[in-house]
Amino acid sequence: MNRLLAIRFSEPRNRQMRKELEQKMFERWPQWFNPKGDVRHTRMSFGFQHEDGWFDILWRLSGDLEPLAAEFEQTTGRHLEVLQVKEKFGGLRIHMNLTTDAIRQRLLAAQLESFLTCEVCGHPGQRRECGWIKTLCDLHTGARDREPKELE
């Protein structure tokens, strides 16, 4: 492995949404998130494991899930919970304890949207592969490419 690659692979990655944005989500939909829960049951104690740029996607998604979740809970008497929210292969991954076709569809739409949205800033982006896979806009791809070179 050459030096540039070594630096890229070891580059620290910010995998956490800002606390104030997390708090907005927790306060708006407290019924779905249990940030103090046991990690054997929920990973929400780790917070949202992606950068700030996907906040809007999450916010709109959660608003759209409200009626779907209410219908599900009324008919089944079971409680929906979000167990994990993270970045994987450049896209937004959300795990819930239970799901329906309608909910799965909406989660998939959010994931597709994340593949076109810069994870850092929320502007239009695309999936980039350069040691890691991440969905970024041109600006943030450029910023990341420059960092290792400046070290040399």
120: contact with Zn ion by CB under 5 A: yes
Interacting residues with Zn ion between 123 and 142 (CB under 5 A): 123, 137, 140
Q: Of 118, 135, 141, 144, which lies in the binding site for Zn ion, with binding defined by CB under 5 A?
A: 118
Shortest Cβ 25–Zn ion spacing (Å) = 21
Shortest Cβ 127–Zn ion spacing (Å) = 13
| Cα angle, residue 122 at apex, residues 119 and 127 outer, rounded to 5° | 45
Decide: residue 92, CB within 10 A, 0-12 exposed, 13-18 middle, 19+ buried: buried
Shortest Cβ 18–Zn ion spacing (Å) = 15
Say if CB 86 and CB 49 are below 8 A apart: yes
Q: Which is nearer to Zn ion, 102 or 121 (CB)?
A: 121
Q: Which residues are at the interface with Zn ion (CB under 5 A)? A: 118, 120-121, 123, 137, 140
